[in-house]
Amino acid sequence: MGQKSEPPGFDQVYVLGLDHQGHPRGARFSVLKGSIVSAAMDMNCRILIRQPADVTALARKLPMGYVVGTGKMVRLLIPRIGSSLYRRILEASRVAIIHEETRIAAAISMTVH
């Protein structure tokens, strides 16, 4: 059964990628399931899970994605999105990774000394 409504709480999984013509696609899924992640990986998509507030604020603008099928073999319907939103989410994600790596490196250097 397809995921149609947005349940209460926060979105956990964001999927971004390019289709075979190079058009950006993106969707959000409110349920973290291995089948969704696996299907997204098969589509060569980037999967963002439990992102910081800056990324989440942008990624919430993504339309809800649809899951077709049940069990381990599912298909994702990921709509086209604007290239600006696509670029802004990826950039925010990269910045979040840099901040996290810096924070971890600082914590390690403080523990070593």
Q: In what order do the strands lie in the sheet with 13-18?
A: 24-29, 13-18, 46-49
Is residue 77 helix, strand or coil? strand
**pLDDT by residue (tens digit) across 17-33?**
999 999 999 999 988 88
**pLDDT by residue (tens digit) across 57-82?**
999 999 999 989 887 788 899 999 99
Global pTM value: 0.77
Position 33 scores a pLDDT of: 84
Position 29 scores a pLDDT of: 92
Sign of CA dihedral 30, 32, 35, 39: positive
Position 105 scores a pLDDT of: 82
Position 1 scores a pLDDT of: 46
Q: Are 36 and 74 in contact (CB under 8 A)?
A: yes
Q: Are 62 and 81 in contact (CB under 8 A)?
A: yes
